[in-house]
Structure 1
Amino acid sequence: MPYAYCEQIGKEIRDISDEIPFEIPESWEWVRLGFIGDWGSGATPSRTNKEYYGGNIPWLKTGDLNDGIITNIPEKITELALEKTSVRLNPVGSVLIAMYGATIGKLGILNIPATTNQACCACLPILVNNNYLFYFLMSHKESFTKKAEGGAQPNISKEKIISTLFPLPPLAEQKRIVAKIEQLIPYIEKYEKAETQLTALNKSFPDMLKKSILQEAVQGKLVPQNPDDEPASVLLERIRAEKQE
């Protein structure tokens, strides 16, 4: 009989085997993303209140996400905005994910405390390596994009994010996985650069080849010379004679 994956919601225990996307090692567990951290979305303080902007608290928009470590956020809000509006201050180490528009799935890890707008969801993991969570979310980007709803501005909700199943390894293994990923990423980036160059070369190659062949042709290098051919000097005289006639 196949192993049944179960989930407890309140007092109810239900079989979620049909939701399991792949098998994991015996020492791992399937959990929902909402279980492994404190998740929350941000807000936009009213632009009409000038006292809310120009302070010293970083306020991140999804365009500031860089799929890496966030060290600089241009726009700032004030302590008053933090006190009077629903923005929340996310601590260093928080993992951010964009929920709206063309930036859906864009990620970042805070290296400075910061607030965000409502298009961004933040998680401070609990006993989970934030880099492991970051790489899991990165691997899940296509899935989040497919789940996006809406017309002009598709979006995923925080609820969809936190209900996503998450393969949870032991903490020590999470760290080993992160170390291995970061060991391999430079090779991936090097391959990506080489592939980009090859693609550009393949795209331009036919035109370059045509120019090269034509260049060889007009320089007398395309076909072998035949000493029995009538020399061009004779042809030149014939051309002059034709022109005079």
Structure 2
Amino acid sequence: FQSKLNQIFSQKGDGWEEKTLGEVCDILGGGTPSKKNESFYGGSIPWATVRDMNHDILTQTDHSITDEGLKNSSSKIISKNHVVIATRVGLGKICKLKQDTAINQDLKGLVPNEKYNILNDFIFWWFKSISQKVIDAGTGATVQGVKLTFIKELSFPLTTKNEQERVINTMNAFSKDTEALLNTYSNKLSSLEELKKTILQKAFVGELTH
């Protein structure tokens, strides 16, 4: 899967040009409201941390904050369908938001500059292709992180909307095929485990026959 991603973004066709991520996107940071003030938490605003980033699409968060909590912190709301990346703790993690979501300081929201006509799904697949580079750049004795300047200077492949859609469709289809294969093998492994348990149970009650 990763090799397919790398192939697409390394074999650029005509009309592709290199920009920095900081040129083509606003990179929005987050924050954490003071936990000493209970009125900042339990509101209607989903508040995401790295722990919530377990799937490609972030549908819900473990915690929520209030309007007051948002106003009294550096947290920002990232609009739905935009991409959020981890720049600390869970380096390389990325997700798309299903709803407007506030983020903490370990995350960054990537909001495309309108003049470049960049699709969020294209950003998503591009970041997937360079996620190992981000992981490798992490520094810190106990918690790995990368600086905002590093994220801003990442080389971003700018291309036409049609070409972006082609890449998105290719990767979406490939992702579905990969997931189907994984599910098939997972089911087979589960069946083998069940068979193994049955054989063991029979063996230990003297029911095993040759």
TM value normalised by structure 1: 0.69
- Indicate whether 1:77 and 2:62 are aligned: no
Aligned residue number for residue 140 of structure 1: 130
2:119 corresponds to? 129
SS in 2 for 1:140: helix
Aligned equivalents of 2:142, 2:62: Cα separation in 1: 27
Q: How many residues align?
A: 194
1:139: Cα distance to partner?
1.4
**Please, what is the CA RMSD of the aligned residues?**
2.9
Quote how far apart the aligned CAs of 1:22 are.
Answer: 4.8
1:72 partner amino acid: Q
2:174 is aligned with 1:187: no
Q: Which residue, 29, 35, 43 being the options, matches 2:23?
A: 35
Q: Secondary structure at the match of 2:79?
A: coil
1:156 is aligned with what amino acid? V
In structure 2, how many angstroms separate the alpha carbons of the residues matched to 1:45 and 1:104?
22
The structure with higher relative contact order (CA 8 Å, sep 6+) is 2
How far the C-alpha of 1:198 sits from its partner, in A, is: 7.4
Match of 1:107 among 70, 83, 94: 94
5+ residue gaps, structure 2, are 1-8, 194-207
Q: 2:100 corresponds to which letter in structure 1?
A: P
**TM-score, scaled relative to structure 2:** 0.79
Question: Which of 91, 96, 103 is 1:116 aligned to?
Answer: 103
Counterpart residue number, 2:150: 160
Identify if the C-alpha distance between structure 1 residues 132 and 143 changes in structure 2 by more than 3 Å, giving closer, same or farther: same
In structure 2, what residue type is equivalent to 1:138?
Answer: K
Which consecutive residues of structure 1, in runs of 5 or more, have no partner in the other structure?
Answer: 1-20, 204-217, 222-245
TM-fit CA distance, 1:196: 5.4
Distance change in 2, residues 1:79/1:201 (3 Å):
closer
Deviates further, 189-198 or 141-150: 189-198
Cα distance, 1:157–1:197 mapped onto 2, change above 3 Å: farther
- Tell me what 2:4 maps to: none
Larger Rg: 1
Q: Which SS does the other structure have where 1:134 is aligned?
A: helix
**In 1: Cα distance, 2:46 partner to 2:141 partner:** 30
Identity %: 24
Question: What SS does the corresponding residue of 1:177 show, helix, strand or coil?
Answer: helix
Q: Against the structure 1 CA distance between its residues 196 and 143, is the aligned structure 2 distance closer, same or farther, given a 3 Å change threshold? A: farther
